[in-house]
Amino acid sequence: MTRRKRLFDLALVLMLVAVLAVPFGILCLALLVLEGRPLFYVAERMKAPGQPFALWKLRTMRPAGPGEAGVSGGDKADRISPLGQILRKTRADEIPQLWNVLRGDMSFVGPRPPLRQYVERFPNLYAQVLRSRPGITGLASLYIHRFEERILSACTTPEETDAVYCRRSIPRKARLDLIYQRHAGLRLDMALMAATLQRVLRRG
């Protein structure tokens, strides 16, 4: 990550913390009353091959049972709470990732941070993709998210979800992540953040 991008991230984090502190507190209280503890979902993600970090999100699903792992598909849909569906739709569940940006684990714009299992299964691909710091949003997040949501929601078992994700999602996202990498800059980052905000407001 360039120094300029890092300074931009830090300035934006501080501004958003000031703006979102009260609404986020109210949201956490509502989540506590309606869903109970834990409030947060903390999971391992990779910022580079061999470099894991703890990704923070607001919890949108009932806690996983033993042995449950991998991406979310139709096989996990019944675990998503009504409030969790709203949080996901508006991407409010990702507000805690401001902490990840502050720590330097993530940037505002970049590839979505992958699970370790996929980095280890596709080492050559992720060695290229993760030359960019993972982001809260990005080119692939904007243009693949609905497609991915649709194809994974049709999956009925963890094995099918994993197979479809590997075959149809990972290659598409990687192509867009590498396009972003070739053209990365603050102007593109701001355009992608503006497009993300526009989409969130439209969906909300």
Point out the least confidently predicted range of 14-18, 88-92, 101-105.
88-92
Domain with 80, as residue range(s), is 3-203
CB 158 within 8 A of CB 129: no
Q: Residue 34, SS3?
A: helix
Averaged pLDDT score across all residues of the chain: 92
* pLDDT of 96 strictly over 60: yes
Position 128, amino acid: Q
The predicted structure's pLDDT at residue 180: 97
Q: Report the length, in residues, of the chain.
A: 204
The structural domain count of the chain equals: 1
Residue 66 has pLDDT above 60, yes or no: no
Q: Which helix (H) or strand (E) holds 87?
A: helix 82-90
Distance separating alpha carbons of residues 115 and 113, to the nearest angstrom? 7
Token pair belonging to 166: 């590997």
Residue 77 has pLDDT above 80, yes or no: no
- pLDDT number for residue 75: 73
Please state the pTM of the whole predicted model: 0.90
Longest dimension (CA), the chain: 46
Mean pLDDT for the stretch of residues 50-60: 96
Token output for 78: 């019944």
Q: Tokens representing 71?
A: 């991406």
